[in-house]
A and B are shown apart, each in its own frame.
Chain A
């Protein structure tokens, strides 16, 4: 009996040893999302990136994530918990995770940290972002071509640089086609509230807009466009299923290639904190198929997309600020820090920026 017991214990020990050895070979990569992965928008696309990592690197990695983490003291705990649980590389995907991540990164120098859309870095903390404004310029051009009333409705969340940059880029695109093009802007003070987004879309359509643009995350505005027989653009993911006749295109966030590259670097031991701002040419910003528009509009959109891939920046002068004061000279290109801190409108935007 005793022998048997010893044999059992020995087997168990060997097994558990083997298990640890195997676990050590696997690299644990972890993600923190601010929304639910079921939002079919921003957090959903980040999670698609995580799944891409699993698919591409297979047995070599193990992934984990925390969703619905609010951007406050909760975030501290979330990052710390993941670091303690053996995550070797951790991605924080929201602007508000910046300070918590900086703090936790200091405590865990052996863990690699990555933060999306922020600006603070450290020896083991890199940052990454995507140039969504490139896509918004194309949306502006399509809107100006497709709109009969010459007015677009624009639903926005919060007056942060990312959103202001998007409005500006959209208007520059639209006015490059139709100089007197107008956008009616409605702030709903939320990233995600399908009901409010639908209400805002209805209000904008009732006031004469015939194209809807959104910088909020749900499919509701497009559904309203579909019901009314008007058109609009998707957000974050391809929403064509919700509006087969209304969606013109959509700016799709594709984080997969970036995440695969970074986790691979962590596996190879070549990871270094970076500072990247990826655009259409890097494949991080993708345009959903151009649909429901005549061929010449489609050709124009594709030409602009090509121009951007070749290195052209929508924020190339001459551009004046809203009040008419010059901002960029002929041929001058806005630098990244200015764009990332953008808190003013360009000429032609018909709205007062909430402060």
Chain B
């Protein structure tokens, strides 16, 4: 029983950063903006979170710094693509490259220093309950944030008027503009929200997952998050499912190897990617619904006529 609980906890830790970064990007894409800079914003969050936590000794300040740095960094993307109408794909890619380089430079003095770790939740009486205690009441704080965030984004996008407006901007920015909606302002806020989420995901890496700073420590997780959004056809609960399937298969294949199952390790390593894509394609196989969910003006620059 103990090993099952341990495995489930490991899966949650592996899935959390993917989920948070993907949920943020989902809101950005729902507003019609494609930000390929997730990896860059995430690594900025990781270095900012570690740095602030290390210098102040408080991982909570680190957490706030990770969110802030991701948001500030995404502002750069917003100014370029929204105010100056640059190409979103190229700008997003350069944001990733810039983030990887800049974070390496900022983090030079943090290399080889152990950092502060965010403590796990510990509620007297509840955390000690066998089996479910540690799963429900004993995880790291960012895990709870990630679940709350997913629920909040679902509610916001599909149950509120502002969410409806945001989605309509993503479907047709010209129509939205004609109706007098402030397209650029909405998109700014969406991009900054996405940046804050990516920063938080990076903070999870350097404050919970592996409390340390090393260059390139995101190791491609930003790209996985981006792929999750598309394969989940822009639906929050599917992003949640995708992140956890990825985490589960990833952890499962490590256990399979340690157990000595005679399957080539290269195949096992690629399984999480394959399984996640297959499952998400299966749930999104209704073509009409997928079309409906795809933001129609995704990636197109918008210059309002004055």
Residues of chain A touching chain B, judged by Cβ–Cβ distance below 8 Å, are 35-36, 38-40, 44, 153, 184-190, 192-200, 202-204, 206-207, 209, 218-220, 223, 237, 241-242, 350-352, 354-355
- Mostly, the A contact residues are mixed
On chain B, the residues within 8 Å of A194 by CB distance are: 205, 209-210, 212, 214, 217, 219
Give CA–CA (A351, B112) in the complex, Å: 33
B-side interface residues, number (CB < 8 Å): 38
Known contacts A44-B111, A219-B212: A202-B269 contact under CB 8 Å: no
Known contacts A38-B104, A38-B108, A195-B219: A206-B255 contact under CB 8 Å: yes
Known contacts A38-B214, A187-B265: A207-B108 contact under CB 8 Å: no
Cβ-neighbour of B259 out of A189, A193, A207 (below 8 A): A207
Mask: chain B, 131-147; 1 = CB below 8 Å from A; 0 = not: 00000000000000000
- Is there a chain A Cβ closer than 8 Å to B1's Cβ? no
- Is there a chain A Cβ closer than 8 Å to B187's Cβ? no
Mask: chain B, 197-211; 1 = CB below 8 Å from A; 0 = not: 000000001000111
On chain B, the residues within 8 Å of A209 by CB distance are: 258
Residues of chain B touching chain A, judged by Cβ–Cβ distance below 8 Å, are 3, 6-7, 10, 13-14, 17, 104, 107-108, 111-114, 205, 209-212, 214-217, 219, 221, 250-251, 254-255, 257-260, 262, 264-266, 269
- Give B99 Cβ to nearest chain A Cβ, in Å: 14
- Mostly, the B contact residues are helix
Cβ-neighbour of B219 out of A185, A193, A200, A206 (below 8 A): A193
Contact A354 B264 (CB under 8 A): yes
- Give B170 Cβ to nearest chain A Cβ, in Å: 31
When C-beta atoms are compared, the residue in chain A nearest to B216 turns out to be A36
Known contacts A44-B111, A193-B219: A203-B212 contact under CB 8 Å: no
Cβ-neighbour of B258 out of A195, A207, A241 (below 8 A): A207
Contact A220 B3 (CB under 8 A): no
Contact B107 A220 (CB under 8 A): no
Q: Of B3, B114, B258, which is in contact with the most chain A CB atoms at under 10 Å from its CB?
A: B258
Contact A184 B219 (CB under 8 A): no
- Give A225 Cβ to nearest chain B Cβ, in Å: 13
On chain A, the residues within 8 Å of B269 by CB distance are: 187-189
Give CA–CA (A153, B254) in the complex, Å: 12
On chain A, the residues within 8 Å of B216 by CB distance are: 36, 39, 192
When C-beta atoms are compared, the residue in chain B nearest to A194 turns out to be B210
Contact B107 A38 (CB under 8 A): yes
- Give B121 Cβ to nearest chain A Cβ, in Å: 16
Cβ-neighbour of B114 out of A35, A186, A242 (below 8 A): A242
